[in-house]
Amino acid sequence: MLDRLAGFVVRRRLAVLVVGLLLAVVGGVASTTLFDKLTAGGFDDPKSESSRAITALDKRFGQGLPNLTLLVTSKGRVDDPSVTAAGTELTRKLGKEPGVANVSSYWTTGKAPQLRGKSGHKALIMGTVTGDDTTSQKRVAELADRYEGSRGGLEVKFGGYTKFQRELLEQGQKDATTGETVAIPITLVALVFIFGSAVAAALPLAVALVAMMLTMGLTWILASVTTVGSLAASVVTLLGLGLAIDYSLLMVSRYREELRSGLAPPDAIRATLTSAGRTVTFSALTVAVSSLAMAWFPLQAVRSMGYAGALTALLSGASSLIVLPALLALLGDRIEKGRVFRKRRGVGPEAAARNVESGFWHRLATTVMRRPVPIVTIVTAFLLLLGAPFLGINLGMPDERVMPASSSARQVADTVRAEFDSSEQNALQVVAPEGGSDRAAVGAYAKRLSQLPHVAAVRTATGAYAEGRQAAPPDQRYARYASGDAVYFSVVPETASADDADRLVGEIRSQKAPFEALVGGAAATNHDAAAALEKWLPYALGTVLLTMLVLLFLVTGSVMLPFLALVLSALSLTATFGALVWVFQDGHLAGLFGDFTPTGNIAATIPVMLFGLAFGLAMDYQVFLLSRMREEYELTGSPTAAVAQGLERTGRIVTAAAVAISVVFLAFTVSGISLVKAYGVGLPLAVLMDATLIRGAVLPAAMRLGGRATWWAPAPLRRLHSRYGLREEPSAPAPRRDGDRALTG
């Protein structure tokens, strides 16, 4: 198939380039409105008990969870008559705004102490912006434009979950642009050093830009028919740039190698597509499968990252297999134009053989294979040591602290934590859609809840309760807790501790209720999201591992090598996950990666999403190496020669690809969102560990210990691989230069 594709692309190179350019332009135009279709959030399980509680609260009581917080600061004290009048008027006006419900404040709730700051100069206004995520985020932006700033002697600042979502979306858009601006010129310089030719260096970037615009266009279509999270945009831009450069580096390098061996340009393109092209195909599939495994998780933010990663990998691979060969066919020998730094290597098979036998990676592989046991032991121990901090991981869910200090939502949240009794804002809502007409049962259940550890108060239709006793009788203040035969309970924790709130969710659910009771609220949402990740993780891992075993067999024809590659890819991720905890949870070297706040935990979504992307990338370089080793093994029949020559032939280009893609991924660290920064640290580490220690030491040593057994497969599987395998094909003998018409005639 790839041979036929080579013939078609060479014959129709101009048409292929025109069509590719037009599609890229269309995708680029569509992407200008992409962020209008994306949504922040998506860190909840829509089928969980907490989500059903929110739905019931909205359906039966006409109210949602508070998602809007206004921090009001005055020069005078908040109890001064003038400040009270201004605060009351501000609350009244906000409550009359369309799309805003349940507005209350310090001044309209009988001066509730939990809504007054410790200094006496700050107070809170709480409310709910109604509608879905997209509608509420747009609405809060409009309200902030009108109300934020100085109003009647008061300084007003917007915060709350919906404001946080809006700022997350805006920051993501800004970060995507900044990342591209940083990554592209640095990568171009790196590519010039790698190739020594300005023309050759420009090709991967050209293909990357086409792939990115195509992917952005398809993401726009995807966002038009389903919910896509804002973090997907960063994946599309930077992962797309990195993968397309990665694949193009391999293709361009193999094409230049074929030219040096004496092939004419059309035949070099055919040889490149039928060899390196197969590796690119497989590599794109590995990243796509690893990404799509995230579709098992019900959290929309995770699924969006998976969809975006799969689209990005497939389109990056397709662009490298179609657009790049068309460019190569157009350039021919002119790919060497604009040479800098290095002299051109000798041309011909003999010169190529000399280069292989005297190369650094050949010598390294030979040295490693002389002492495989101590080298495997030392390197494995070192990687496990780097991964040791992961044993102390403390999982949580993201909040406003993932944003930079300049974020309004972050500033409000920090102030509330520092100066207010924030336990009231962390109240859990226990909703009983039916059974609320039995007030005796309602009161008895409320008393039981108030006796639980870490509960300060319970409020419901029958009054307020504390420590198993009724603290306040039912009056007009508690009428809103009942609607027909439905009732809900507001359970206020003693502290704002996330750990205490999480335990409280489990304790409430363990209580026997006289009716169906659904526990909702921020802590319940986080609890259910973490449970969903834990529940579906085995399915995602199983999908990745099973698919990888099949694909790796198709590329190697071996039974043992697929298992070895999976183990080594997992080993290469140990440093990534160790760094994740050491930097982002414990705060070491935090200043090195910009403005972010260590919170003492890691968002539970980060290890899942990082694994989905990093595992596929770690497999990339092993695929490059193993496919070339397979080619050398078929030529020589020697397992040691296959390792040494395969490593040498891929060594330089894999190192170059790892450096280039790491430069791109490091651009994630310029993000103002700590969730995105984690990818900027974790992904380059995974790539570099795999491209250096795993490829240069552990894999050659392990294959030396396995000997010929590493390539063994039973007869039925050998026949299967012979028919359907993705192995690379050795280049054909070099034809005469008048063979330029071989594919064009």
pLDDT of residue 62: 76
High-pLDDT (> 70) share of the chain, %: 93
Q: Pick the most confident of 76-85, 134-143, 493-502.
A: 76-85
Q: Pick the most confident of 17-26, 236-245, 674-683.
A: 17-26
Rounded to whole angstroms, how far apart are CA atoms 284 and 620?
A: 8
In this model, does residue 27 exceed pLDDT 90?
no
Which runs of consecutive H residues, i.e. helices, occur in 573-673?
Answer: 574-579, 605-636, 639-666
Question: At 432, phi and psi to the nearest 5?
Answer: -115, 100
pLDDT of residue 726: 61
Report strand pairing: 395-396 vs 602-603: parallel
In this model, does residue 346 exceed pLDDT 50?
no
Q: 595-653: per-residue pLDDT in tens?
A: 678 878 888 888 887 887 788 777 777 777 887 788 788 888 888 888 888 888 877 77
Average pLDDT in the 584-593 region?
A: 80
Rounded to whole angstroms, how far apart are CA atoms 545 and 16?
A: 36
pLDDT of residue 347: 42
pLDDT of residue 353: 47
Average pLDDT in the 41-65 region?
A: 84
Within 8 A by CB and 6+ apart from 390, the residues are 574, 577, 578, 580, 581
**Element (H or E) spanning 432, and its range?**
strand 428-432
Average pLDDT in the 462-476 region?
A: 88
Domains of the chain in start order, with CATH, are 2-32+166-399+528-741 (1.20.1640.10), 68-159 (3.30.70.1440), 410-527 (3.30.70)
Q: 559-577: per-residue pLDDT in tens?
A: 888 898 888 888 888 888 9
In the structure encoding, which two tokens stand for residue 703, read together?
């294959």
Mean pLDDT across the chain, nearest whole number?
83
As to burial, measured by CB atoms within 10 angstroms (0-12 exposed, 13-18 middle, 19+ buried), residue 469 is exposed
pLDDT of residue 423: 65
pLDDT of residue 184: 82
Question: pLDDT: is 246 or 624 the higher one?
Answer: 246
How open is the CA angle 109-110-111, to the nearest 5 degrees? 90
Q: 502-555: per-residue pLDDT in tens?
A: 889 999 999 888 999 999 988 898 889 989 988 999 999 898 889 888 888 887
Rounded to whole angstroms, how far apart are CA atoms 669 and 449?
A: 45
Asked if residues 157 and 148 have their Cβ atoms less than 8 Å apart, the reply is yes
As to burial, measured by CB atoms within 10 angstroms (0-12 exposed, 13-18 middle, 19+ buried), residue 646 is buried
In this model, does residue 405 exceed pLDDT 80?
yes
pLDDT of residue 338: 64
Q: 110-143: per-residue pLDDT in tens?
A: 787 888 988 899 999 988 888 777 788 888 989 9
Average pLDDT in the 161-186 region?
A: 83
pLDDT confidence band for 93 (50 / 70 / 90) = very high
Task: Give the other-Cβ count within 10 Å of 391's Cβ.
Answer: 9
Report the length, in residues, of the chain.
745
In this model, does residue 452 exceed pLDDT 60?
yes
Q: pTM for the complete prediction? A: 0.79
In the structure encoding, which two tokens stand for residue 323, read together?
């657009």
Lowest mean pLDDT: which of 220-234, 344-358, 586-600, 708-722? 344-358
pLDDT of residue 596: 76
Q: 174-219: per-residue pLDDT in tens?
A: 887 787 788 888 888 888 887 777 888 888 888 888 988 898 888 8
pLDDT of residue 449: 93
In DSSP terms, 458 is beta-bridged to: 465, 491
Which runs of consecutive H residues, i.e. helices, occur in 427-559?
Answer: 439-450, 498-510, 522-556
Rounded to whole angstroms, how far apart are CA atoms 194 and 175?
A: 27
Q: 251-288: per-residue pLDDT in tens?
A: 888 888 888 888 888 888 998 888 888 888 888 888 88
Lowest mean pLDDT: which of 30-39, 64-73, 371-380, 463-472? 30-39
pLDDT confidence band for 61 (50 / 70 / 90) = confident
- DSSP state for residue 154 in the 8-state scheme: E
pLDDT of residue 190: 81
Rounded to the nearest 10°, the torsion over CA 735, 739, 744, 745 is -130
pLDDT confidence band for 91 (50 / 70 / 90) = very high
Average pLDDT in the 152-163 region?
A: 89
pLDDT confidence band for 424 (50 / 70 / 90) = low
Report strand pairing: 455-460 vs 463-466: antiparallel
In this model, does residue 744 exceed pLDDT 50?
no
Coil, helix or strand at residue 157: strand
